Amino acid sequence: MNGSSIIFYLVAALTLVCAVLSVSTRHIFRAAIYLLFTLIGIAGIYFWLDYQFIAAVQIVVYVGGIVVLIIFSIFLTQQAGEKLAKQKIGRKIFSALAVFCAFALTMLQIYQHDFVETSAPHIGNTVKDIGGQMLSTGENGYALPFEVVSMLLLAAMIGCIVIALRSKPEPK
């Protein structure tokens, strides 16, 4: 075992432990923080894989956006220092079983699938390559999905503005 794999196992262990903690803790805020550590762990694995752009986007989107959103909704709705109600034992067993089944299914699929090495040219993982690919209209280009997603975001933004816009009182 070399240094690289030691780092991988450490990061993976952090991710898994935090993931388990985030569903097993009874403090809702701690659950959010453990979720945050899980997401950071996944970003760490991306860094380990040398996919730096995806790692940074993972942090920007999930940590800077989604976890902050979750924490804000906890702040606005929950009382500090309160624990969630204890769940029934049957429910616990059922959810554990469900998780185990999903895990087993995924692992089964991964082990049964035989991955073939592609002969397609390797696309670099720098920002420049990703950006070029994102806006290219040629082979494997992502211009159309990119534009569709931006339309979706634009629609969402306009929706937000319409909801947030305070209607002016009728002039009398």
Partner 1 sequence: MWSFSNISDNIHDWLSANFNATWTLIIEMVIAGTLVIGLFAMLGLILVIMERKVSAWMQIRLGPNRVGPKGMLQSMADTIKLMVKEGMTPNGADKIMFNLAPFVAMIVAMLLLAPIAFAENFQLWDLNIGVLYITAVSSIMVISILMAGWASNNKYSLLGAMRSGAQIVSYELSAGLSILAIIVLTGSLQVSEIIESQRNGWWLFKGHIPAIIAFVIFIIAVTAETNRAPFDLAEAESELTAGFHTEYSGMKFALFFLAEYVNVFIVCGLGATIFLGGWMPLHIGNWTGFNNAMDYIPSSLWFFGKTFFLIFVIMWFRWSFPRLRIDQLLNLEWKYLLPISMVNLLLVTLMAIMGWHF
Q: Given the rule CB under 8 A, which residues bind partner 1? A: 2-3, 27, 29-30, 33, 36, 40, 52-53, 56-57, 59-60, 63-64, 67-68, 71-72, 74-75, 80-81, 125-128
CB of 171 to partner 1, least distance (A): 24
The smaller minimum CB distance to partner 1, of residues 64 and 106, is found at: 64
CB of 102 to partner 1, least distance (A): 28
CA distance 53 to 127: 6
Q: Where are the alpha helices (DSSP H) in 49-140?
A: 52-58, 68-77, 89-112, 127-134
Q: How far is CA 125 from the centre of its chain?
A: 20
CB of 67 to partner 1, least distance (A): 7
CB of 170 to partner 1, least distance (A): 25
Q: What is the DSSP letter of 67?
A: I
Closest CA to 61 of 43, 41, 37: 43
The smaller minimum CB distance to partner 1, of residues 30 and 92, is found at: 30
The smaller minimum CB distance to partner 1, of residues 110 and 161, is found at: 161
Coil, helix or strand at residue 119? coil
CB of 121 to partner 1, least distance (A): 19
The smaller minimum CB distance to partner 1, of residues 106 and 125, is found at: 125
Closest CA to 148 of 158, 134, 138, 133: 134
The smaller minimum CB distance to partner 1, of residues 7 and 12, is found at: 7
CA distance 107 to 97: 15
